[in-house]
Amino acid sequence: MRLATRKNGSRDGELVVVSARHDRWAPARGIVPHLQAALDRWDEVFPQLQELDRDLAEGKLGEPSDMRALGAPLPRAYEWIDASAFIQHIELVRRARGAPLPEGLESEPLMYQGGSGCLLGPYDDVALADEAWGLDFEAEIGLVLADTPRGVPASRALDHVRLILLANDWTLRELVPAELAKGFGFFVSKPATSFSPLALTPDELGEHFEDGRVHLPLRSSVNGRLVGDPDAGEMHFSFADLIAHAARTRSLTAGTLLGSGTVSNRDPSRGASCLVEQRTREFLASGKATTAYLKLGDRVRIEMLDPSGASLFGSIEQTVVAG
């Protein structure tokens, strides 16, 4: 099932069930007002959404979709936890910063808590106050979790996955070094994160969601030029590992968002899911990073296609604007 949130002027928007071709949808308002409310009482609501989805597929109901009217599936969420599960990316970014590699890189996930109260929709403009802050995108896979108990082992963690989606974890690269030097992690260097139009139940990915990893390429482009399409299956830590780490000392509430970190492959021919990785590769190859960070007017597009070429989550398409 494909769930999405239509903007309707309210804080949480309105839940819609979207057809396989993304061309039609059925508002779920007769069942539940918005996605968070569905997650709050999933066992009761989910069968009703499935029935709506069946009726939509059979053409019994529904209306033409308007993807541009969609916001983030959760316009405000109770948590946004972001990992950095692609070790290749960590190695490259740290090299770019001249920072040492963290100890235990391969044994314990890096994870930070992001802001979650104001999340951006897939087509929302991204306001940038100062180009010198070095705006970069980071294309990621994300999960929406069910209630997840403290101390859940990795072996049972995937039972708590409700939905899968894409995220763009916007980063202000030039604000990162000074902030991390303070020792408390990211804060102002991470403005509001964006999410894909659609959030999918894991069954929609079929065999491509395996071992807690999404085994498909994630495509990122800037101004129509492909920056990379690395395989998201090359995660060092699986989502099971990430959930277990996130819940090690506290419970997570239904609707918690959990990100994979920037998708990255060891094979440089696959390109990158953020500009800093591309810049690092340029620097290592030629002694100079030639790709600039994003400027006003730049457009970033992130999407994931299935092997037939169909878009799974819809696309994140955002423009950088002054503000």
From the list 193, 8, 208, 201, the residue with the least C-alpha distance to 82 is: 193
Q: Which residues contact 172 (CB under 8 A, 6 or more apart)?
A: 133, 134, 135, 136, 188, 189, 190, 191
Site string (151-180) toward its own copies, x via CB under 8 A: x--------------------x--x--x-x
Site string for its own copies, 207-246 (x = CB under 8 A): --------------------------------------xx
Q: How far apart are CA 112 and CA 190, in angstroms?
A: 11
Q: Give least dist CB 253 to its own copies, A.
A: 3
Amino acid at residue number 45: V
Amino acid at site 280: T
Q: Segment near its own copies (CB under 8 A), from 49-57, 126-134, 272-280, 285-293?
A: 126-134
User: How many chain residues bind its own copies (CB under 8 A)?
Assistant: 53
**Residue 132 found at the interface with its own copies (CB under 8 A):** no
Q: 249 is written with which tokens? A: 């000392």
Which of 221, 256 has the CB closer to its own copies?
A: 256
111 belongs to the binding site for its own copies (CB under 8 A)? yes
Residue 2: DSSP 8-state: E
Which residue stretch of 13-21, 27-35, 104-112, 205-213 sits at the interface with its own copies (rule: CB under 8 A)? Answer: 104-112
Minimum separation from the CB atom of position 172 to its own copies (A) = 6
* Per-position DSSP letters for 95-117, written without gaps between them: HHHTPPPPTTTTTS--EEEEP-S
* Three-state SS at 232: helix
Residues 256-285 that bind its own copies (CB under 8 A): 256
Q: What's the Rg (C-alpha) of the chain?
A: 19
> Which of 253, 291, 311, 319 contacts its own copies by CB under 8 A?
253
- DSSP-derived 3-state class of residue 320: strand
Q: Tell me which residues touch its own copies (CB under 8 A).
A: 11, 40, 76-79, 81, 84, 99, 102-104, 108, 110-118, 127, 129, 133, 150-151, 172, 175, 178, 180-192, 245-246, 248-253, 255-256
